Amino acid sequence: MLRTDKEFFIDCNGKIYKYHGTDAENITSIHNAIAAELYPDIKHPVEFVMRKGWILVGSVAYNGSLLIHKQPSQSQVDILFDLNMLDYLYILTTDRVYIQWNKQMN
């Protein structure tokens, strides 16, 4: 599986955004490349889309986990369920730490 297949974003409506360039092996952050392509005028595009509630899929820093800064939308939950990835979703808490989303629901 290619790196571009494992690292992408899911917006609040459930739309998946992947990198489609041919130079992925030369890019340090696929997520930054995707976000910068969508929002070229934003200084920190990954942080921008994360604050909007997008899910970052394939976090290298968190062993491939899925990260979100807000409660996921139903569309995002549905997509993750369909992709069999819901158990890997981590949400940022008010203490600025990530916890597994389905565990914080209990």
Q: State which amino acid sits at residue 52.
A: K
Q: Kindly list the distances between the CA atom of residue 23 and the CA atoms of 3, 10, 26, 33, in Å, as whole numbers in the listed order.
A: 11, 22, 6, 11
Per-residue pLDDT tens over the stretch 36-73:
999 999 999 999 999 999 999 987 666 778 999 999 99
Residue 28: count of CB within 10 angstroms of its CB: 8
Q: How many domains does the chain have?
A: 1
Q: What is the pTM of this model?
A: 0.88
Question: Is residue 3 in a domain?
Answer: no
pLDDT of residue 28: 85
Rounded CA gap, 30 and 32, in Å? 5
Element (H, E) at 99: strand 98-100
Please check whether residue 5 lies inside any domain of the structure.
Answer: no
CA atoms of 10 and 72, how far apart (whole Å): 10
Domain of residue 60: give its range: 10-104
In a domain, 22, yes or no: yes
- SS3 for 97? coil
Residue 1 forms part of a structural domain = no
